[in-house]
Chains A and B, each alone.
Chain A
Amino acid sequence: MLRDMMPQFELYQPDTLENALNLAKELDDKAWIMAGGYDSLDWFKDRAKRPSAVIDIGGIASLKGIKETADGLEIGALTTLTEIATNALVREKYSLLASAAGRVASPQIRNAGTLGGNLSQDTRCWYYRSGVNCYRAGGNSCFADSPQGQNREHCLYGANRCVAVSPSDTGTAAVALDARMVVRSSAGEKVIPAEEFFIGPAIDITHMTVLKKGEILTAVRFPKEWAGAKFYFEKVTDRNTWDFALVSVAAAMLIDGGVIKKIRVACGAVECVPRRLKAVEEAVTGSPQNADTALLAGKTAVQGATPLNFNHFKIPLMENLVRRAIRDA
């Protein structure tokens, strides 16, 4: 496969959101919306995606920045991961998000990669990324889920013809923090809970999110309810320098007198969406935050896991991460 040589495309660089939305509407099927470019440019260089027009929204100033609101925190979709990881307000009140953003890829990538891009990125299944005609690419086969398929990074839950997982670290944190995604199109604005923003193959096998043609993720809102809660984020990777998660866990909990009053927990890289662990939340709410509760949480977390040929290791890994999240938050 020819690599590092992008096919030709028309480049549009709007400086306002309105211009970007108009372009997206006008170009319709031809348009590829690019933010930091760390997902898009891979696709183009591998020649696996060949859009004829790219709308680079990286220059839209209104989509950048972190601001405190009456309801919590609002972060523009083009805010870089480094800004999020180092911002004093985020670190003070939503350190879970800062931790997750700080564990994405490498410092160089975090300097240019954006929150919106990290949330909206495509899966990293290497069969799909190399441009083969798998289900996710519109075909009718899954090469990862074959007798010889290399699937140690793939899913434990929600396999539905495709077995890819969500690669987004900030997505896992966003689900745990009950974030709201602000999506704009020429038709107006809508606000979508993080849990509903990500979709699995049973709903749409060719997309990772509910974003449709002509829609742009403009901001993410983090509710006040979880500001200053106790948090835990941990991501296990093959390489500690920079890599996508083998399994990650994000937990936010409100503790009163040593008892878990309210909790949200999500795991990354075990399903095509950040997997919210509702059974764990129900099991530990009202229990003391201790080793016994953590043990129960870990065992509850992996109920129903269905490993593929080469990813059985993810089950104890996920169990231990959830156990640590409850015990050490």
Chain B
Amino acid sequence: MQSQPNYAPNQSGAAGQTIIECHKISKVVKLNREQSLTILHDVDFQVNRGEMVAIVGASGSGKTTMLGIIGGLDVPTSGQVMIAGQDISKMKEKSLAQVRNRTIGFVFQFFNLVPTLSALENVMLPIQFDKKPQFKAEDRAKELLELVGLSHRLTNKPTQLSGGEQQRVAIARALANQPALLLGDEPTGNLDSQRSQEILDLLTDLRRQLGLTVCIVTHDPQIASRCDRTVTMKDGVLYQGSLDH
């Protein structure tokens, strides 16, 4: 019997149904000695396992800051952030790096592939960063690139790939360590409509196929409409559903 590749999400630390649980998080940044700016105001936000949620909002509403905090790229000024059962709001840098490596996968607007590495090497990177790798990096990367339809582009550098292809590589890289949560920051923001459609199809397919939880920051109403649920950020406050402007 041929063994099937394992794409299922990392279940480590998964205690219950909720995978993202933000409790009263706020983020204040100092502008100068006297002034400070509150970007997030006591935000409560939950996402259940397997859900696909869109965070929408105008520029400067705080949605990117929110995504950064959920993804362990930034820490809140106050409040608690639980990701897959782990409180990441007070974690040390080393543990946080491990969470980003194993539990979370990122897809960015500008793809952010490492320009000196080939598609295959880019996808291998998170596994190579893992202190105790769970996969054989090259085999796993090849499987994932095949999954995103790029098995013929393994040795190409990012500059030799189209925007859509680069984003596919980025998605494969995000899935490398079988994360429980995939975070997207305007993942189609830098693509034409046809490529956007393809990437969106790929994300929804992968989510269904792998049982992924997906959380996407977007301006695009079409993406929002394909998500299970939409939340809206406005002036640092989170509202359920989409708001009429």
**A interacts with B:** no
> Could you tell me which A residues sit within 8 Å of B by CB distance?
none
> Could you tell me which B residues sit within 8 Å of A by CB distance?
none
